Structure 1
Amino acid sequence: MGSIGFVNMSFAKKLEAVGIKCRIFNPLMPGLNMFLNNRDHRKITVIDGKIGYTGRYNLANEYFNFTHPYGEWKGTGIRICGQAVRSLTVSFLEMWNASSKEECDSEENLAFYLKDRNYPENCAGCIQPYADSPLDGGQVGEEVYISMVNKAERYCYFMTPYLIITDEFAHALSLESKRGVDVRIVTPGIPDKKPIYRVTRSFYNVLAENCVHIFEWKPGFCHAKMSVADDCLATCGTINLDYRSLYHHFENGCFMTDVPDILSIKEDFDETFKQCREVTEKYSVKWSAPHRLSQMIMRLFAQLL
C-alpha cells in the first residue's frame, strides 16, 4: 500500500489483524531515505493469476463516488485475462518485494505465482501491460504516450487529472495537431488541488496556440488516465500527464493495439466530450503581459509538482 505520508498505519494494522497481509512501500524511516520523492502510484489487482485489473482506482470512498468532495469523480480501469496477467503479477511482486526483506521471488514461489496456463487464443489484437520506475533510467510512460501521438494519423485523445508536461511532449502534441491530427486533452472542471490546477492551466496556452483542443470536464474531477488513437491504439493505467507520474513515481499501465474494446474507449471519450466545456479558443489568444509572467513563474515549479 501507498507511500510516505499517504497511509494510515492504524488501518494497515487492522488489515493484518484480520489476516490480510499488508506491506507499506517506502514508510517514513529515521534518517535519509533514498526514495523520499518516489511514490508507489501503481494500482494492480491480480486474482489467481487469471484476471487482472488496473487503472485509476484507489481504495477510497471518493474514487467510487460514495463521497463528493470535488463534484463527481470520473475514472477508468481495465480488466484483462490471459498471458498479459503475468506482467501485472510481476509488477505487483516487484513492489511487494521492495517493501520487505521477506521476498517471495524464490523459484518455488515464482512457480506458484507465475504458473503456465492454457488460454484459448480467440482474442484479436494485443495487450501489453508495462511498468515504469524512476530508478531504471528510462521514462516508459512518457515514451508510450509520445509514440502514440507520433503514430496517430486521424486523432489522438487524452484524459488526465493534471497537465504538467515536458517541452518534448508539448512539441509532439503541437506538431501532430499542425499536420492535421485531431489532438484533444480532457482535464478536470473542478480541481482537487487548486495550486496544481493553476499550473495545469498554464500549459493550455502553448498547446491551444498550436491547435491542440483542450476540454474541461464540467461535472467534477476527471481522474482518468487514458488515451486512444485512430480506433486501433489505446492506453489505460495510472500515469498522469505530469512530471511526478512521468519521472518520479512507480507507475503502470496497459498498452493496447487492435483490441475490439478500443472502440468502447473511443465511445467513452465521445460521451465525455459532451459533458465538457472546450476552452481552446479562450486560451489560444495572446494574454496580457502580467498574465503571461504569472504563468512563467508557475511553470518554474512544474518539475516539483
Structure 2
Amino acid sequence: MKKLLKIVTSRAFPMVIIFLIQLVLIVEMFIILKENFIWFYVVSFVLSVVLMVVLINKDTNPDYKITWIIPILTLPLFGSFLYLFFAKNKFAESVSKGMASTTSSFHFLMSNEENTLEEITNPDAYLQSRYLERYASCPVYRNTKSKYYPLGELYFEDLIEDIKNAKSFIFLEYFIIDKGYVWDTLVSLLKQKIEEGVDVRLIYDDFGCMNKMGRDFGDRLRASGIKYQVFNPIKYIVLPQHNNRNHRKIAVIDGKIGYTGGLNLADEYINKIVRFGHWRDSGVRIEGQAVWSLTVFFLSMWNSLSDEFLNFNDYLPKDFFKEEGFVEDKGFVQPFADAPRDKEPVGENTYLNIIYRAKKYVYITTPYLILSSEMLTALTNAAKGGIDVRIITPYIADKKMVFMVTRSYYEPLLEAGVKIYEYKPGFIHAKNIVSDDNVAVVSTINVDFRSLYLHFENGIWFFDSPIIKDIRDDFIETMEVSQRKTLQEMNDRLLAVKIAGSVLRIFAPLL
C-alpha cells in the first residue's frame, strides 16, 4: 500500500495518465479518419512516401532510419504523425547552438595561447586529438594532474574534501540528484560555503530528478542560497524535447579542480543503499589547466538555460597560464562534450577512433550495450583482426528490457571473438574505454543510442598519462569477479527470449 501511495503521489504518475489520455485521443482521431477510407488511404500513402524519401536522404544514423521506416510503413498516418512530432526538437537544437557558440569562443582563446596539439608525436593520438579540437571545439592540455576512482565511495570522499576548501566558486551539473546521505552531506556543506561568500551554482536534469527530489526541490534550493538552473523542465503535454536529457556529470571547484565520470549524487553510487547488488562506478579528478574546459562546459550550459549571461573570463584562474602554478603529470588530457542535434556524434566517433586504431587490445565497461551498426562492425572487425576486445556489462540489470536488448548483441560479438563479461556482484555503471596502455576515456557516455545520439554528455580523453594504467588495472580487477559469457550459453537461451531480444533490437534507437 505504501509503495502504491508513493507511485500515485509521484510527479511521474499524472504525466503517465495524461500521456495515456493523449494517446487515446490520437487513436480515436485516426479511427474517425478511417471512416473516410479513400481520403485516409490517399493522405496516408502520399505522406508515407514523402517521409520515406526524406528519411532515406537524411544525414543520420541508418539504424534510426530503419526504426522509423517500420511504423511509417505498417501504420502510415499514425507512424508519420509520430515521426513528424518527434523528429524536430527546437529545445535541444537551441541549447546545442548556444553551447556551440560559447565553446567555440573559448577554443579561440586557447588556440591563441598555446599549441599543445603539435606536441603529440604519436600519429594516431594526434589525429584523435585534432578531431576533438576541430569538431568539438575542445583543446588538449598538459599541465594537469589526474586521479582515477574505481569506486564511488572514493570519488565522493575527495569531492567533499575539495568543496570544503573552495574559496571562490563551486559548479555542479548532474543528471540525477536523490534524497539521502550524499545529498544531505553535500547541501549542508554548500550552505556553509555560501555563508563564506562562495558562489554555488547547480544544473540538474528535471527528468533525472523527477521522482526523487519532490515538487518543491527548486524552492528548497532557492531557500538555501544555491543558484540553479533546471535542464528541460518536464511538461504534462508530451513533447519531443523530453527525449533529450542532460546526462552530464561535472563538478568544478575554483576553476582549478574538476570531477567527472559516471557518478550521480545519490546513495546507491557509493553503496550507502543497495538497489542492484554492489554498484561499481568510476570517476576522475583533474587539477590544472584542463579544468578550464569543464568550467566552460558548465558556463556554456548555464548561459544556454538562463537569461543571466556569465562572462567566462570572470572564472578563469589568474595564474592559468603560469605553468609553475600547476602540478603536471606526464601525458595529455582533453575534456570534451557532446550534444545532440549538432550532426556530429563526438562520443561515438571518439570510441570508434580508439577501436579502429587499436594495436593490441580494447577494454570497455558500460551498463548498457545497445550498438549502432557502426559500433558493432568496429568491435567485430577489431576482434576478427586479432585485437583483444573485452567488454564488461552488469550481471544484475536495472532496466530489464534494456538488459534483454544488451544480451541480444552478445551472439554476433562472441562469434567474432569479442570476450564479454558480466559483473557478478551486481551493477556496473562505469563508462570507460582503454586501449594499448596509452589511450583511455572516462566519461558519462553509455554505449547505447541514447548517450551517443540523444543526450548531452561529456568525458575526458587521456593519452600517455599515468592514469591509463589505473583504468586498465581496474578493468582487470573487475573482470576477475565477473562471469564470462559463452556462445553456447547464448545459443541455449529460450526461444522466446531470443525472439523478444530480436524484436526489441529493431526499436533499440528509441530505448
Q: What TM-score, normalized by structure 2, do the two folds share?
A: 0.57
- The Cα shift of 1:37 comes to 1.1
Listed one character per residue, the Cα deviations across residues 192-250 of structure 1 (whole Å, up to 9, x for unaligned) are 11111111111111111111111000111100001100100100010000000000000
Listed one character per residue, the Cα deviations across residues 265-291 of structure 1 (whole Å, up to 9, x for unaligned) are 111011001110000334565877655
Listed one character per residue, the Cα deviations across residues 50-106 of structure 1 (whole Å, up to 9, x for unaligned) are 0110001100111111100111100000111222111111111122122222221xx
- Matches of 1:72 and 1:32 in 2, distance apart? 35
- Matches of 2:496 and 2:313 in 1, distance apart? 62
Q: Taking CA–CA contacts closer than 8 Å with sequence separation of 6 or more, which of the two structures ends up with the larger relative contact order?
A: 1
- Matches of 1:293 and 1:31 in 2, distance apart? 34
Amino acid at match of 2:433: S
Give the match for residue 323 of structure 2. 119
1:229 aligns with 2:435: yes
1:218 aligns with 2:424: yes
Give the match for residue 300 of structure 2. 94
- The Cα shift of 1:260 comes to 1.0
Give the match for residue 202 of structure 1. 408
Note closer, same or farther for the CA distance 1:18–1:134 as it changes in structure 2 (3 Å cut). same
Q: How does 1:281-296 map to 2 (within 5 A)?
A: 281-282=487-488, 285=491, 292-296=498-502
SS in 1 for 2:393: strand
Give the match for residue 12 of structure 1. 218
SS in 2 for 1:36: helix
1:158 aligns with 2:360: no
Give the match for residue 51 of structure 2. none
- Matches of 1:58 and 1:42 in 2, distance apart? 9
Give the match for residue 268 of structure 1. 474
Bigger Cα Rg:
2
Is the helix fraction higher in 1 or 2? 2
Counterpart selection for 2:345 from 127, 139, 155: 139
SS in 1 for 2:402: helix
Identity of aligned residues (%): 46
Amino acid at match of 1:79: R
Listed one character per residue, the Cα deviations across residues 161-214 of structure 1 (whole Å, up to 9, x for unaligned) are 000010110000000101111000000011111111111111111111111111
Give the match for residue 185 of structure 2. none
SS in 1 for 2:229: coil
SS in 1 for 2:234: coil
Counterpart selection for 1:23 from 204, 207, 229: 229
- Indicate the larger mover: 219-228 or 277-286: 277-286
- Matches of 2:218 and 2:486 in 1, distance apart? 45
Root mean square deviation of aligned Cα? 1.9
Contact 1:174–1:212 (Cα < 8 Å) also in 2: yes
1:40 aligns with 2:246: yes
- Matches of 1:71 and 1:303 in 2, distance apart? 28
Give the match for residue 287 of structure 2. 81
SS in 2 for 1:27: coil
1:110 aligns with 2:316: no
SS in 2 for 1:6: helix
Amino acid at match of 2:426: G
Is the strand fraction higher in 1 or 2? 1
Contact 1:163–1:242 (Cα < 8 Å) also in 2: yes
- The Cα shift of 1:138 comes to 0.6
SS in 1 for 2:243: coil
Note closer, same or farther for the CA distance 1:27–1:290 as it changes in structure 2 (3 Å cut). closer
Contact 2:439–2:463 (Cα < 8 Å) also in 1: yes
In the alignment, structure 1 segments of 5+ residues that lack a partner are none
